[in-house]
A and B are shown apart, each in its own frame.
Chain A
Amino acid sequence: MARVVVDVMLKPEILDPQGKAVQGALPRLGFEGISDVRQGKRFELEVDGELTEERLAQVREIAEKLLSNPVIEDFAVHVDGAVAGAGA
């Protein structure tokens, strides 16, 4: 059993209204000096059995096919804090 984490972020050139709303709230709370906030998604996948290259490739396929939309988002796959491969 292994936990694989997939982080999905909007591409840098895509406007992120949610991130902007969060950033806009910061000065009202007294936090200064945060020049930008981007909001993304984190998926934690519990993978049965040994985490082989094939299983990791499968997770990357899941990330590309379902968890992210490559038109507007990038994703990164991590295992135990190590980067297992990113997709743009």
Chain B
Amino acid sequence: MKVGVVTFPGSLDDVDGRRAVVLAGHEAVALWHGDHDLRGVDAVILPGGFSYGDYLRCGAISRFSPVMTEVVAAAERGMPVLGICNGFQILCESHLLPGALIRNNHQKFVCRDQRLRVENNGTAWTSSYDGGAEITVVLKNGEGSYVADEATLDLLEAEGRVVVRYLDVNPNGSLRDIAGITNERGNVVGLMPHPEHAVEDLCGPGTDGLGFFTSLLAPVG
């Protein structure tokens, strides 16, 4: 599969994202924020970082970049799209996912190995995992507190659209310990933790994150 990873001005984890894609057996394609072109990819990853310096709101300006017009249209046609950290913020600002990410409730940047439970393994990005799998990946954010109104949270829970939930500690004040969610169709997934930093034993807390990238090959069920 050809998997595109978008680079915005201020993206940090685009290279790690491409490396994770290759380690999962795919071809990685670099995409540029300023192009109206997805270069024929089959899936897109919006990486972590501080696109446009997090000015205005995290992801608020990236949302209107030329490449995002194409990503939104492709996502609405069913293309798998994964937003990690800043990418999750961009997906929320683009209204591809509901809710928003605000400043951590304890006001500090957090960087830790975070345990998560995979609660929905029916998405394009989590089908490699067993349902209820507990994994450990890197978490690093300053504005990672997931918020939405009660009706939206109830809907996400009722439809099984909470993809990953924080275990042990809630690192940023996210409502209902939500670490990641999906859209109705299950092709768009956003999460604050970084699975692309947990794909090799050499660095990071293990290889628990690789499943997000190998899932693209597994049948979605």
Contacts and interface: CB of A to CB of B under 8 A. Distances in A.
Contacts of A59: none
B204 interface: no
Interface in B84-105: 92-93, 98-100, 102-105
Contact of A15 (B57, B60, B105): B105
Interface residues of B, number: 19
Contacts of A76: none
Given A14-B147, A66-B56, A66-B64, A71 B100 contact: yes
Contact of A17 (B56, B92, B104, B148): B104
Of the candidates B104, B147, B148, the one having the most CB atoms from chain A within 10 angstroms of its own CB is B147
Interface string B129-162: 0000000000000000101100000000000000
Given A15-B102, A17-B106, A17-B107, A69 B60 contact: yes
A58 interface: no
B107 A21 contact: yes
Chief secondary structure at chain B's binding surface: loop
Interface string B98-125: 1110111111000000000000000000
A21 B106 CA distance: 9
Interface size class of A (residues with CB under 8 A): 10 to 19
B173 interface: yes
A69 B93 contact: yes
Contacts of B92: 71
A13 to B, nearest CB: 8
Interface of B: 56-57, 60, 64, 92-93, 98-100, 102-107, 145, 147-148, 173
What 9 pairs between A and B have smallest CB-CB spacing? A71-B100, A17-B107, A72-B100, A17-B103, A21-B107, A69-B100, A69-B57, A17-B105, A15-B105
Interface of A: 10, 14-15, 17-18, 20-21, 66-67, 69, 71-72
